[in-house]
Structures are given as C-alpha cells and as structure tokens.
Amino acid sequence: MVRKTWIGFWLMGLCSVSGVRAAESLPNVIYVMADDLGIGDVECYGGQRCQIATPNFDRLAREGMKFTDAHVTASVCIPSRIAIMTGRYAWRFRPPKPDGRWAFLLPRIDTGRETLGTLMQRAGYATGYIGKWHLGTLMQTTDGKVQGSENTDFTKPLQVAPPQYGFDTSFILPGSLDMYPYVFIRNQEFVGDVTAQKGWSAFNRIGPAAEDFEDVRVLDTLSTEMETFISQHAQDSKQGKPFFLYFGLTAPHTPISPSEAFEGKSDLGLYGDFVGEADHCLGRVLAALDRHGIAQNTLVIATSDHGACPCAGNIRKATRGQIRLLEDQGHYSAGIHQGYKFSIYEGGLRVPFVVRWPQQVQAGAVCDRLVSTMDLMGTLAELCAVSLENDAGEDSISFLPLLHDASGPGTRESLLLNSTHSLAIRRGKWKLCMCPGSGCSGTHGNQPPAAEAWQAATDRYGKLPKSADDFVSPEFLQLFDLEADPGETRNVAAEHPVVLQELMMIAVKVAIRGRSTPGEQVANEAERFDLFTPLPKSVRAPAPK
C-alpha cells in the first residue's frame, strides 16, 4: 500500500491561549520583505563573515527577537511570495496558461482566495501594500489577448491588482526591478506615461517604461510612499483603528542599483552599497514609527524572500557565480551555509527573520525553533482572533506563542521546501533533499547543476531510475544533520534508512491531504506535482561495465 501511494503520488504530482488580549488594543503590523537578501548579508546573522553594516536589521534584533531557523518555502521569488500571501504552498496552485512574460505575468492567486490583505481587513485593519508585487496582475489589452509589451493599454486601469486581494491602498512595481514593464501602479492605475523603452545593467532587458522611471530612485520612492502611509494612519491607530502594511523592497535583487546617496558608502563595493540602502529603508520605517509615537504597539517583522542570487555582486552586469568574488573579500551572503537563490540548500532557503513588538516581545530574545515566512497568515489570524475557513491558510502555522516565549515548544514540526527543480523536507535536525546536487540548473552559479548530479547518481546506481523504488534509493537523495553539519557537506542518506522513510511519508501526507494544519482534506489545484525532480532529458543510462 505504501509503495502504491508513492508511485501514485509521483505520477500525479491577541487572542485565544496566547494571552495577547492583555494588550490595550491590537497592534499595527508592518511586514518588511527584502528581495534576494541572504542570511549572511545581515550583520547580526553573518557575524565576522559579513562585511556589510546593517544597523537597522541589527536594531530590530536587539530590540526584539531574532529567529535563527527561519525559512521561506521556495528559493525563488514567485512561489515564495505566493506562500507568504496565502499561507499555502505554491505548488498546490495551478499556474495560469497561457501566461505573460516578465512583469506581465498573469495573477497567481484567485481573487476569491483568502490573503493577508483580506484577513486583516476582516480583522478591522486598514491595509496597504507598497513595493515589489510579483504575484501577477490583469491588465487591459488592445486585442483581448494575453498582456505583453505590444498590446497592453497603459492608459486604462488594471482589472486585477492588489485592491482585488484585500489591500485598501497600494503602490507597487509589478515585478522585479529588472523585469519590464518598468512602471509604478497606484491601486489600479499606471503612474506616468508609459511611452519609453528602458533596460538596466543586470540583464539589460529592454521593455516598456514610464518616461520618468529610473532604477536608482525606486527604493527612495517606495520608502516615501511608506512614510506617507504611516503618517496617514498613525492617528487612527492611536484611536483603535490599526493598520497593516506589507512593504516589499526591490533590493538587493539585480540590477545592483544603489542611489547616489549610497553608492560608494560600503567598503565591500556596489553590492554592499545596495544592501546598505535596503537596510536604510527599514530604518526609515522605524524612524516613522518613532516620529508618530506608535512604535510601542506596532509589530514589525523584517525578512527576505529567499537567499542571495549567485549572479549578483559588484559587477553591474549579472555574471554567473560572481557572488563568490564577494567571498574572496571575506563576505559570505549565505553565511555558514552552502547554496544560493534557486538551490535546495540552506543558503537559498534560510533567511534573516527579526521581529519587534515592544509591548509583547522581550528585547534581545533569540528563538531557534523552526518557522516559515508562510506562517504569517496563521500568526496574524491568531493575533487578531479571526478564524480561517477550511480552504484558507492550509499550511500556515502560527508562531505567536514563540513571541512570548522564545524557548517554548515549537509550533511547526516539519516544513516542505522547494528549489526550482526539486523538493526537500525539514523536521527537527534532519533535512531530506529529494534529489542529488543543488536542485537547480546551475545557470547562475549554484553547484553542482542538476543534470550533472543526476548523471553522476545514475552512474553510481547502475541504471536509469524509473520507479518510485528507484527514486527513493540513497543514490538519488541527500540527507543532512543540520545540527552537526549546518553547511550540508556530508550526505548521510545511506546511514539512516528509517529517517528517510519517516520523512518521505510526512511529505506524502502533507501533499495528499492538501494541508499541513488540522482540518478536512482539501484538493490541490495543480494537476500533478512530482515529489521528485523529473529526470533531466540529458541524463543517459550508464555504459555497461
């Protein structure tokens, strides 16, 4: 029966017991998410291996709580952000087909689904979203076809944007800073005349842009919008109308584009300048709260969407593996871990995660329990005493109790993680990667590339893997004891067959039930989800010996 389950799955692919009601009122909540910021890019995490000053991340850790075992669910932007916004693993969703290119991508989330925005609206919050979106929009076109560079009507309002996901006000960049169209969107209206063609240094992707849009001004523009939002809602929050702000930075994602005020400020070079400017944006959040006298009852959470990109660094052009040049200078964006964005290793999935709430969280606390950015929905639902329906936040587990007792029992027992090409599962000290190698193509510099790793594993196994039994062989798996080996340097899969079986069955249960939380089973929308990476087409059967 177990074997059939594996084969079938491979083929198909303030509130309650926490005591928060002791607070006089619900807190304001600000979620700050950096883009491609590695755990080692933050000084209070990287220590001597970090050559960048991050005084504001460090201040939050000093005045609040630092989580040391915090993970995103995916080491790449879109699925990580889907999970954060919905409290649900991104691979459970069906991606839109056909789809738009770059920042013209279509909505990743159905407008009827619960999001952080709708949840906080139901809790009585004023809601806002400022910054990078990258969850898809629906733009009006001149020909009724999928939106793109040639047919989007930039004079007409968007049909689907953050307001359709529960955000009262929004000011967004639709995708990453190196993905056209390069234009801000306020609520559902494009800002400015989108009549130019522009591109930036990293990949030089030339596409539609607003006439006055410049990459080096984006962080300052977003921060000014953030300050305006806080100013507009500060007085209301003092009178019992709290606000929720999702503030998505665009740095240090490529292009590495620090403003004139920050270029040359870091001894490390351009990359350090850009990380420093991102940290300064967080500082502007804290300064705005202090200025309006609302810091004490504001919950601030700052993190990243995943690890640093291996093609980023001090060379403005995106260059394969150039992040290792920073390591030659003594700076390790992945900290003590291996791997970067896109990979299955910790350097792509473990992120800085600091929380400050002066009224409730003990200053200087450190929590080593497993948490995920996906857990924000469950945490805020518990905080606000708002119930979630059976088909909402299915994988989001509240970490609210840990904010009151960092050494208390962990609320999350396991977590599924994915790279661009594979899946892993964490439980306790164990991490099982359901692939050999980095779990990604290696195009940007992760090692070893998936195709090479699969070929080497196939050669060792002696034949092409075809069945579930083949794929669960230790030759095709990586098991790491993260307590003894946080750098994932020693694969102990062959030494612990019982651990392999236990972790695999947990992954199967979570996937098939459609949820990680208690409740009725729900269906995954995806037509199929492969627990194991499909074997790369380039992998050949071993030569007869």
pLDDT one-digit tens code per residue, 433-491: 999 999 999 999 999 999 999 999 999 999 999 888 899 999 999 999 999 999 999 99
For position 21, what pLDDT does the model report? 38
Confidence of residue 3 (pLDDT cuts 50, 70, 90): very low
Structure tokens at 363: 């200053």
Contacts of 87 (CB under 8 A, 6+ apart): 114, 374, 375, 376, 377, 378, 388, 392, 393, 394, 395, 396
pLDDT for the residue 22: 34
pLDDT digits (tens, 9 = 90+) for 217-261: 999 999 999 999 999 999 999 999 999 999 999 999 999 999 999
pLDDT value for 536: 85
pLDDT at 58 over 60: yes
Handedness of CA 184, 188, 189, 195 (dihedral sign): positive
Residue 397: predicted pLDDT: 98
What local confidence, expressed as pLDDT, does residue 543 receive? Answer: 83
Query: Residue 530: pLDDT band by 50, 70, 90 thresholds?
Result: low
pLDDT in tens, 160-214: 999 999 999 999 999 999 999 999 999 999 999 999 999 999 999 999 999 999 9
- pLDDT digits over 389-424, tens only? 999 999 999 999 999 999 999 999 999 999 999 999
Are the beta carbons of 457 and 536 closer than 8 angstroms? Answer: no
Number of Cβ within a 10 Å radius of residue 466: 9
Find all residues with CB under 8 Å of 478, minimum gap 6, and list them.
Answer: 432, 433, 435, 436, 488, 491, 493
Residue 97 CB contacts under 8 Å (≥ 6 apart), including other chains:
none
531 pLDDT band (50/70/90 cuts)? low
CATH number (2.60.120.620, 3.40.720.10, 3.30.9.10, 3.40.50.150) of 28-142+157-177+211-412 reads: 3.40.720.10
Ramachandran area for residue 428 (φ above 0: left; ψ -120 to 50: alpha; else beta): left
Quickly count: other Cβ atoms within 10 Å of residue 2's Cβ: 11
Q: How is 8-39 classified by DSSP, letter by letter?
A: HHHHH---GGGTGGGSSSPPEEEEEEEES--G
Which band of pLDDT confidence, cut at 50, 70 and 90, is reported for residue 18?
Answer: very low
Residue-level pLDDT at 526: 81
Pairing of β 185-186 and β 189-190: antiparallel
The pLDDT assigned to 5 comes to: 34
* Cβ contact 357:298 at 8 Å: yes
Q: CA 251 to CA 257: how far, in whole Å?
A: 8
CATH T-level assignment (fold) for domain 2-9+416-513: Arylsulfatase, C-terminal domain (3.30.1120)
* 181-191 pLDDT tens trace: 999 999 999 99
Select from 184, 187, 188 the least CA-distant residue to 214. Answer: 184
Contact criterion met (CB below 8 Å) for 417 and 499 = no
Residues of the chain with CATH 3.40.720.10: 28-142+157-177+211-412
Tell me the residue type at 253. H
Determine the average pLDDT of the residues in 279-290. Answer: 98
pLDDT score, position 544: 80
Tokens 């905080």 map to which residue?
383
Please give the model's pTM, rounded to 2 decimal places: 0.94
Q: What is the pLDDT of residues 354-385, one digit of tens each?
A: 999 999 999 999 999 999 999 999 999 999 99
Confidence of residue 527 (pLDDT cuts 50, 70, 90): low
Percent of the chain with pLDDT over 90: 91
